[in-house]
Structure 1
């Protein structure tokens, strides 16, 4: 249970009560989940019309997550009376708030959507000179800051909210500049940053490496991960032996050196080592990085978790046979994953709980099929309701011979380490793994497919 919400429904003194409610259009389940960032959550049941309500007197100010098929952040302060309205067909774009606290949350959602829009356009900006690119990003950032100033002038805002909103704006901007640097670093044969003028890096002087108030913020964490990756990459070149191992080792050491907030540091260490383990091919190097991790991550639970994770990733390395996963066909028959693999294959994953995502990923697959017909493309549904999945496949016109569902979704997701809805697994002609850590929507994914054909 989410501690701030426990036993809130029947309080007599409602002076500081915080109310949450709303309506889900086209619900994909009969509940919503409200979470904080301490692994605590509360499940709220939906009424027959998709509405829900929850009231609480004791609540901590800060960021929370709202989950119903997809996930989004929201901000709560004591005394807020916040109403959600969202249509699962178009989750992020349809999410709107009303009631006390609505203006703040609508502003944060607007920032999120605008940043996603900019992110789609960034590849087109990479051809700009460093000065022109920096000016472009600064112009976008200034517009966001002006919008925050306008909001501040129209309604009272707490210092806590202003810091979160400002952090969203700043770290999205910094992240966009780090993405430009990533592109340039990868293009340089010697990974030299000599072509980037010194003043391009001025934003790095404003980085707060240990901001505990932002440690659960998606923009802050995304930036730090990208930033540390660039710092580590700048220390090596691609021609070095074991460049990938050295880069990840540098990243862990940099995080340990620069991040002083213990919980933030530990979380960054864990996420970065997990990323390395899923893509490494050298068991001896695993041991070295695990030893370093156990030395600098002070969270014993993390250490136990990472050890188990390393054991699982060892079975998913390049050259390993695919695990014995049982699938269910559209006609409700069981079959082993290995038995449906006839040639080079891309496995992709989807859930009917995210309508927009499963439509987008199937459109992406159609695009890949036309470009790379050398591969089979197998869709695997991660839900546990057969008839609803079957109905979706048939109604959508998806290939009945290329769509399957896990017989045991939790066990299979655990075996295949499905930690992202955009994850793809590439398999060769002999049912052996080629690649298990790819984002099917990334630009580099097509380059990988092309490279693996020959």
Structure 2
């Protein structure tokens, strides 16, 4: 997982030609505050590449040529983390003045196939390496969280130091790399470890024993003394946001037990707990980009859960009073409006879908018995594999249910169909939205693990379940046994 793929002879030829082009351009330009970025997309999902600046805003859309390549000069460049986006997937790159960065990737294996060459390639290949390492370790966190607190603390700290030592050895051999690059890699390593430590109590104690978070070793959270809550240059950095998200959840535990009985079961969906998270974000973060982003996603997580209309509006109003991002506010208002139509007892919106054989249907017409509708994206390999494998298990446990699979992408149909064919997924109940953008908004599909349960008449029994959650079977059994709506 940590190895960077080898460059083939074809890639090498592409990059030699590109470096010649780069060399010619460099000789004719005296302004040093620029960088070149270019590349080749294998199996492109569309004909463009979108570039986001260091603040996450789109600043250019580039067309691929006949060979699926592009080359672009960025002027007045500030050192920072930029985003390359193609077909719904994205990758962060680190750009500094005078870089001439080329990459090549295959959309069928986006992250693992990505390799950089040219000036600036070493630091970006190292960044990719730390990303992949972090993903691998995150997948093992549930297993690691079975350790006692002292053992877990020692384990993640030794792992962090080992990763830093490896990086420092890299710097000894690459002295030309900048202090900015060093700060980014250190942040990626550190904040990923800090996130694991903030998530740990939720996995180790569980809802019934969360009160014992107060019994963790005194120095378990020693990392909190070195946190920068306003690191704007990291505002779109995954490991930094992963830490902040779990950190806020963790800090709010104290407020939760101030308002609830000492030994009560922890309820992450309580109103007081979620309001306290928004209060914490508002009080400890001053950077507007970071603050607004956290406020949006914490409020959205609460609203998307199966709360009453009054509760959703209460948290919405609380959020609106704190956010300064007008675009986010409109999005959240629209979300609440969409969810009002998805209440238990309402008919599921009769959206148009297309099956594997390109025949158009409407949802109401394909539902003939109690059904679970689940979603997946071509851009998330682990999610679409796991969801289909989980549904295969559920089909054997609940033979009286139907399972409808809907792909949410708006890319060319061949990508959707290739995945189905490559993994031998049954095609009978595989569908794609006819208008993905409208459908995702209407059904409030804000995250892929959401599923909707309906009865044989297309009436919503539950608008938001997670087939991977520990209480899914219990929820499903109760719904099917009672055969009536959940009391709100």
What range is the shorter-chain TM-score in? 0.7 to 0.9
Say which SS state the counterpart of residue 198 (structure 2) adopts: helix
The aligned residue for residue 119 of structure 1 is: 138
By how many angstroms is 1:269 displaced? 0.8
Q: Could you tell me how far apart the structure 1 residues matched to 2:420 and 2:313 are?
A: 47
Pick closer, same or farther for the CA change 1:59–1:310 going to 2, 3 Å.
same
Per-residue Cα deviation, 1:53-89 (whole angstroms, up to 9, x for no partner)? 2223322221111222322211111110111121222
Structure 2 residue ranges without an equivalent (≥5):
1-23, 482-488
Does the C-alpha gap of structure 1 residues 95 and 373 become closer, same or farther in structure 2, counting only changes over 3 Å?
farther
Partner of residue 338, structure 1: 364
Match of 1:404 among 408, 431, 444: 431
Aligned twin of 2:446: 419
Alignment of 1:36-115 (within 5 A): 36=53, 37-69=55-87, 70-115=89-134
Alignment check: 8 A CA contact 1:88 1:355 kept? no
How far apart, in 2, do the equivalents of 1:389 and 1:147 lie?
38
Partner of 2:252: 232
Residue equivalent to 1:251: 277
Q: Within 1, Cα distance between the matches of 2:426 and 2:265?
A: 44
Q: Match for residue 210 of structure 1?
A: 230
Q: Is 1:162 equivalent to 2:182 in the alignment?
A: yes
Deviation sequence 1:306-348 (CA, Å, 0-9, x none): 2222211222244433112122233443322123223333323
Aligned length: 447
Residues 398-417 of structure 1: CA deviation (Å, up to 9, x unaligned): 43330112122221122112
Partner residue, 1:184: 204
1:314-325 to 2 correspondences below 5 Å: 314-325=340-351
Determine the C-alpha separation between the residues in 2 that align with 1:369 and 1:350.
17
Inter-partner Cα distance in structure 2 for 1:360 and 1:240 = 28
Shift of 1:367: 4.1
Aligned pair in 2 of structure 1 residues 299, 390: CA closer, same or farther (>3 Å)? closer
Indicate yes or no: 2:316 matched with 1:296. no
Give me the whole-angstrom Cα distance separating, in 2, the residues matched to 1:39 and 1:94.
26
- 8 Å CA contact 2:56–2:82 kept in 1: the answer is no
TM-score by length of structure 2 reads 0.82
- CA 1:32 to 1:124, structure 2 compared with 1: closer, same or farther past 3 Å? same
Residue by residue, what CA displacement relative to the aligned partner does 1:84-127 show, whole Å, maximum 9, x if unpaired? 12122221111111111111111111111111111111111122
Structure 1 residues 369 and 135, CA, compared in 2 at 3 Å: closer, same or farther? farther
Q: How does 1:430-445 map to 2 (within 5 A)?
A: 430-438=457-465
Q: Whole-Å Cα distance in 2 between the matches of residues 446 and 25 of structure 1?
A: 41
SS in structure 1 at match of 2:243: helix
Shift of 1:301: 3.2
Structure 1: segments with no counterpart, 5+ residues: 1-8
Deviations along 1:416-437, whole A, 9 cap, x unmatched? 1223344433334553434444
Partner of 1:221: 241
**Is residue 172 from structure 1 mapped to residue 192 from structure 2 by the alignment?**
yes
User: Does residue 288 of structure 2 align to residue 268 of structure 1?
Assistant: no
Partner of 1:3: none
CA–CA separation in structure 2 for the residues paired with 1:190 and 1:55: 52
Contact residue 351 and residue 381 of structure 1 kept, 8 A: yes
The verdict on how the C-alpha distance between 1:395 and 1:248 changes in structure 2, with shifts beyond 3 A counting, is: same
Kept in 2: contact 1:281–1:317 (CA 8 A):
no
Is the Cα contact below 8 Å between 1:255 and 1:269 reproduced in 2?
yes
Are the aligned partners of 1:83 and 1:99 in contact in 2 as well (CA < 8 Å)? yes
- Note the C-alpha offset of 1:42: 2.2
CA distance in 2, matches of 1:34, 1:323: 35
Return closer, same or farther for 1:229/1:404 CA change in 2, 3 Å cut-off: same
Which digits, 9 at most, give the CA deviation of each residue in 1:239-260, with x for residues without a partner? 5899522211111011111112
Change (3 A) 1:285 1:96: same
My pick for the range that moved more, 110-119 or 370-379, is 370-379
Q: Which moved more, 1:83-92 or 1:96-105?
A: 83-92
Deviates more, 1:246-255 or 1:39-48: 39-48
More divergent stretch after superposition (212-221 vs 44-53): 44-53
- Asked whether the equivalents of residues 352 and 392 of structure 1 are also in contact (C-alpha less than 8 Å), the reply is no
